[in-house]
A and B are shown apart, each in its own frame.
Chain A
Amino acid sequence: MPRHTDSEIEQAAERFWQLADALDPATAQVERAGEVDGLIGAASPSLLSPPAVPSGDDGSIPTDTMSVVARKETSNGKLERLSPEELAELRRPATAKSVEEKRAAVAQATQGLRVKVRVTPSMYGRR
């Protein structure tokens, strides 16, 4: 059995939570759900029985679904997105094409600008 350091385990946990946090329950596609059902069934057959509380067949929205939706909406009831057409209109493709060109551009952008004071957020209008 391979052994892992605490650091490796912490990094693996970070990876897991990064993926978990990025998962959108409303749009996630579940693959091999049958395997999950099998696991759940083996663990507790009662989990696969119909829920005691109606879960949407009568037109109501399940409580847990409402929680997710509420957290993804603003108070005016919508989370506005730019349309694909608007995004296409705004998009400015990179003019540097090769990796070398891109590296050179980043180097030119980030190297050599030195000032005599420390720049704090209040200096560009932040609190």
Chain B
Amino acid sequence: MPPPGRRRSPTRGVFAIEDPALLLPDPIALDTSFVVEALIATQPLHPTCASFLARIVETGVSVITSDLLRIELVEAAFSIALKERWGGQWRSHRADGRARRRGGRLLRDALTRYEKLLTSVDHIPVPVGRAADMAATMMIDYGLASYDSVHAASAIMAGANAIVTTDTGFALIPTPMLTIYTDRSRLATCRSKR
């Protein structure tokens, strides 16, 4: 809640990345959910996220990420390979080696693209261990899930005022701590959590 006497912002510190006039803070943090949508062309939000990523790069703002993002990309690559082979039963075939070759190719492709992206921005990667204590505190204080906490703590510790994400869980963080940049379809859900 806002301090007494201060009007509550109708935006709740949540803004749409589709808005061409949106201001970009420097630095700005990226969450894995946004990067996955931007890198994988078959994702439903790919056009929106890839466009916003291009805008971030052209604007020249610095980008903050947690090192956890890379690990999540690896997890996503292997999960894609499993799901392509096993469909809805993919979780129960994790130990099956037959999807690993495809998973390895996807992993190399995704990481190569991620590295390529990082050549175009000033990048501040925050080690997971460095953010662990604050992440734990944020989980307790605001009920964030563990991975969200690590990304949020990394963003705040490195001085970001905003994080770009398609994960509405970040809206549990109080507005003054972190502004949320997300796609238009998630504005209402994020704002309702603040």
Contacts and interface: CB of A to CB of B under 8 A. Distances in A.
Contact of A71 (B5, B117, B174): B174
A72 B19 contact: no
Contact of A123 (B6, B21, B44, B75): B75
A118 B84 CA distance: 9
A11 B15 CA distance: 11
A18 B15 contact: yes
A88 B110 CA distance: 27
A1 interface: no
A111 B116 CA distance: 12
Given A74-B141, A82-B158, A82-B159, A105 B57 contact: yes
Interface of A: 11, 13-15, 17-22, 24, 63-64, 67-68, 71-72, 74-76, 79-82, 86-87, 90-96, 99, 101-103, 105-106, 108-119, 121, 123-127
Contacts of B148: 126
Nearest to B55: A106
Contact of A87 (B12, B79, B158): B158
A112 to B, nearest CB: 6
Given A64-B3, A111-B41, A123-B76, A102 B141 contact: no
20 contacts: A14-B19, A15-B23, A22-B23, A64-B4, A74-B141, A81-B158, A82-B158, A87-B159, A92-B123, A94-B122, A101-B120, A102-B120, A103-B57, A106-B57, A109-B120, A110-B39, A118-B44, A123-B75, A123-B79, A125-B147
A14 B156 CA distance: 23
Contacts of B118: 92
Given A63-B4, A110-B113, A18 B134 contact: no
Max chain A Cβ within 10 angstroms of own Cβ: one of B23, B116, B138, B145: B116
Contact of B179 (A21, A64, A75, A115): A21
B185 interface: no
